[in-house]
Structure 1
Amino acid sequence: MYSRGSNHRLAGSAFRSQVSVLMLTMFASMASIYVAGRLWLDSENRVYLIKELDRRTGQAKSAISVDDTLKIIACREQQKKLTALEMELAAAQQEGTDLKRLEAQKGIVIRFVIGRSANRGDSSDKDIDSENMQTNDFIILNNHVEAPEEHPKKTKLFFIHAAENWNAEFYAKVNDDVYVNIDTLGATLATHLDKPRVYIGCMKSGEVFSESTHKWYEPDWWKFGDGKSYFRHASGEIYVISQALAQFISINRSILLSYAHDDVTTGSWFIGLDVKYIDDTKFCCSSWASGIFLTTHFNFKKEEKRTGKPT
């Protein structure tokens, strides 16, 4: 299914009926391991200061300077942060184990998808590499620069990578603020196994905006006729394509056009092809409250931790 920015994974479901379904989610990245390392560097000083305060307090000596007191308070705060980081790292390692179990037992593969920093090799890139060594839950697109305007390209690279590395029945793109009930999604996809070229999602159209200052500006607005309305395509929060369509994207990567928005871009690739469109309301925002798929604003989005923006 992609976007702890938003800018949020490959999942699938093998079910007990031996059905192997695979999806990927485009989520992105949180990595703060280096902070833990830096905090450890002065651990001896922190321990010494705290022990000194305890010793003086125990001897009924209150003659400790304000400066020393402030240092000790700061050290204790750093210890709290360090403890929190250690817990976060432990959770990340556990997540990696859970992902392996999910893949082995149910045929479900889940990954965060992220590109590289515009300042290649900076601390953000190092953070991502470091966390991935711990969790192995990323698809790192080394030839892609992470930026909001590059989402259509990122989506294409995601499907290419997924199709080339996992032999799946389905591939799903899911934003990082969407919580997915994997079992329910798997059951939904299992009903479409008889369709070799299927495109599933909340189908929509919508206005094409030609004003360059508009949030949803489309530079290629003139291609959509006088009515300026997009063709039917699946909403970008969550949609699924079958293996044949993912392979089509991979094979024709060099000639597939991208528009301003990733969901419109994906839909454009299937116009003119013999594709079965499935307009499923369970993939629509209005139905998420039912518990099938839910929007969730995570406290720590991986991409947001890195860029300060959601994907």
Structure 2
Amino acid sequence: MQIRGSSHRLSSMGNNRSRIPALLISMFATFASIYVAGRLWQDAENRVYLIKELDRITGQGQSAISVDDTLKIIACREQHKKLDAIETELAGARQEGFVSKPLIETNGTYSMRRPLVVIGILTKFGRQKNRDAIRKAWMGSGASLKKIEEGKGIIVQFVIGRSENRGDNQDKDIDRENRLTNDFIILDNHVETNDAFPKKAKLFFAHAADKWDAEFYAKVNDDVYVNIDALGATLATHLDKPRVYMGCMKSGEVFSELNHKWYEPEWWKFGDKKSYFRHASGEMYVISQALAKFISINRSILRTYAHDDVSAGSWFIGLDVKHVDEAKFCCSSWSTGAICAGV
């Protein structure tokens, strides 16, 4: 009885040992099948593409696709993938406000695929003498104005709206002047009134951003003279800043007296009711493309106050904006290296 029991246990152990190798072999076969199937699936797309290329080549009279052609096709597909990735990164950079840099040549001109700056000179009815003086002093007209645009990448235009009495002599005079000079942005949806200057500044930036793909946009009054070369050289040093607001920065007093020249109807909104937040002086200031696009997109909800310079400064509060306090933009006097001068 003991011999028989021992034989039974030995037999069971032998059977168990024989099952283990079989199980391992089965598992290995399963994993091998999965691996082979995965590799076949991974290469399926390449095979389909190569078959299509083979059909194309044989259809052109060739009997087969060579090994060299196969390698070229695979390399080409890899390059396409890299190009797609680069284009995706570039689109993201553009959304963040990054722009391409112009090349500054030794003769002071700018070689670029887009304008360096669009200057809007905000003007009014009855100020043709001011405009003619600006054309003669620094802006130019006709061929000379075109030369500034093409050689320096600087576009200069007067900005004006329409009369309250649409189509009257004031409108006709501007249309007549524009036919002769072709240097106006006429805001047909803006009515020229004494208290609408801040709104006109907002509409200029929105219009200019929609029409021109420039690096910067500048607002200038029609009693300011601009040094074009100094402006171009200064702006070129700030091309690495995607969201820049540049000018002669100040705060200034908030005037709550109704009869004061600079009266601010909403004086109570400004902190201590004594001073404005930091903003660029209104004679001339510059913003980068990303900020101009921001104004264009949000033009219907951006608040305007009594003055255009304060209004512009308010639009950038809370944004990731680089404020550049540049003394060259202080137009009170024409000093060495100055960009502008009031007259």
If the length of structure 1 is used for normalisation, what is the TM-score?
A: 0.68
Instruction: Give yes or no for the alignment of 1:185 onto 2:231.
Output: yes
Greater mean alpha carbon deviation, residues 166-175 or residues 283-292 = 283-292
Tell me which residue corresponds to 1:71.
none
Q: CA deviation at 1:183?
A: 0.8
Tell me which residue corresponds to 2:116.
21
Query: Helix, strand or coil for the counterpart of 1:154?
Result: helix
Aligned residues: 228
Distance 1:173 1:206 in 2: 19
Question: What stretches of structure 1 of length at least 5 have no aligned partner?
Answer: 1-12, 34-86, 298-311
Tell me which residue corresponds to 1:133.
179
1:292-307 to 2 correspondence within 5 Å? 292-297=338-343
Q: CA deviation at 1:228?
A: 2.6
Contact 2:201 2:308 in 1 (8 A): yes
1:1-311 to 2 correspondence within 5 Å? 15-16=104-105, 17-19=110-112, 20-28=115-123, 95-286=141-332, 288-290=334-336, 292-297=338-343
Q: CA deviation at 1:101?
A: 2.4
Which entry has the higher C-alpha Rg, 1 or 2?
Answer: 2
Q: CA deviation at 1:145?
A: 1.3
Greater mean alpha carbon deviation, residues 190-199 or residues 112-121 = 112-121
Higher-RCO chain (CA-CA 8 Å, sequence separation at least 6) = 1
Q: CA deviation at 1:32?
A: 11
Distance 1:296 1:286 in 2: 6
Distance 1:164 1:216 in 2: 32
Tell me which residue corresponds to 1:84.
none
Q: CA deviation at 1:106?
A: 2.4
| Residue type of the alignment partner of 1:204 | K
Structure 1 residue ranges, 4+ long, deviating more than 4 angstroms after superposition: 29-33
Contact 2:224 2:331 in 1 (8 A): no
If the length of structure 2 is used for normalisation, what is the TM-score?
A: 0.62
Q: CA deviation at 1:287?
A: 5.2
Overall identity of the aligned pairs, in %: 67
Question: What stretches of structure 2 of length at least 5 have no aligned partner?
Answer: 1-101
Relative to structure 1, the CA distance from residue 266 to residue 106 in structure 2 (aligned partners, 3 Å threshold; closer, same or farther) is same
Contact 1:116 1:145 in 2 (8 A): yes
Greater mean alpha carbon deviation, residues 123-132 or residues 283-292 = 283-292
Q: CA deviation at 1:31?
A: 8.5
